[in-house]
Structure 1
């Protein structure tokens, strides 16, 4: 958004550098001295959910099982085993695990292609928009959809942390506009 709005890239890079220099030591001391045993256990579970597969890692381990059992073409629509009580609340954030189990990698790639099409189309609309405000709105909506999809898919596959996952972008917008 900064680049689209016309900010100088060198200023943006300086800002990112200064912010990183300040936050890296702060986060180190926070993790080293500021966390309780429960919080440290949850962070450890993020890196290896199999250490506590029946506790904090339960959801992610069952997500891995669902994704792994789908293979290429899946078990078939409606034939998921993990949504029958193993994966709690499969219709929420972990819907992609169930899609992967039922439709396989082919179904996941079709959904990812659809999401990518929506995001790229919003960027194309922003390029063709006559007003700067309309272009920024289009880029913002496309970026929200893309970023939220990346965070969700990263969490389901274990690439991102499910502990402390940032709040939904829609929630942030709601808080911004409604105080």
Structure 2
């Protein structure tokens, strides 16, 4: 049951990233079309596309981090024993988790600073902090999903299974 809930959350996160990708693509296509055919541009199209691109990247990182589909170098990993591979996977997941948690913390500070400083887009004077906040939610989801990944790696580990068995038989 837990797996299906996590799968639905991942699917929602990926749909959110895909929706922002579609919005950025449509905005850029329409903007270029209008600029070249009618010499007119959509107000704040550059700012909006940059802000939405940041959102889709941060939301996409959540799914990629959870699935372990980010860029990796498996040269050393591929020649190691399975137990060493498990340890390396867990270490990598924990390092990624710590880095992403620090990134989310700093992005949260950036959201608050942007809100406090009342940063606005140039043409339409839209508040930028809203876009930063949506991006931060993607980073927060990334941290939570990396915690789930690390826990699953520990629970799947042979070493954890042996330790668990040893603790239950010692009682």
Q: TM-score, normalised by structure 2?
A: 0.30
Q: Which has the larger radius of gyration?
A: 2
Give the structure with the higher percent helix.
2
Point out which structure has higher relative CO (alpha carbons under 8 A, 6+ apart): 2
Q: TM-score, normalised by structure 1?
A: 0.29
